[in-house]
Amino acid sequence: YVEIPSDSGITFNEQPKMKAVEIAEKAKEAILSGKFDQIRVNLPNGDMVGHTGDIEATIVACKAA
């Protein structure tokens, strides 16, 4: 499996996109490779940033990927 670690030392609303673009690129590569029978992808930024209560950052997070 492929795991993309979170950045440390920042709050989610400071970097609402988190790693969404990197995750999406890795998912695309995995899908196009044809190597996998199943692919599970977690784009956590909308959920994680939403819990901060910062609506503007949450909107950015949801639009990120």
Predicted confidence at residue 1, as pLDDT, reads 80
| Below-70 pLDDT ranges, the chain | 65
Residue 48 lies in domain: 20-63
Query: Is this prediction's pTM over 0.85?
Result: no
In a domain, 9, yes or no: no
What are the structure tokens assigned to 57, written together?
């950052």
Cα–Cα distance measured from residue 58 to residue 37, given in angstroms and rounded to the nearest whole number: 33
Give a yes or no: residue 38 inside a domain: yes
pLDDT given for residue 63 in this prediction: 95
Total number of domains in the chain? 1
Q: Examine residue 24 and state whether it is found in any structural domain, yes or no.
A: yes
Count Cβ atoms below 10 Å from residue 61 Cβ, excluding itself: 26
pLDDT of residue 2: 85
Confidence at residue 18, expressed as pLDDT on a 0 to 100 scale: 94
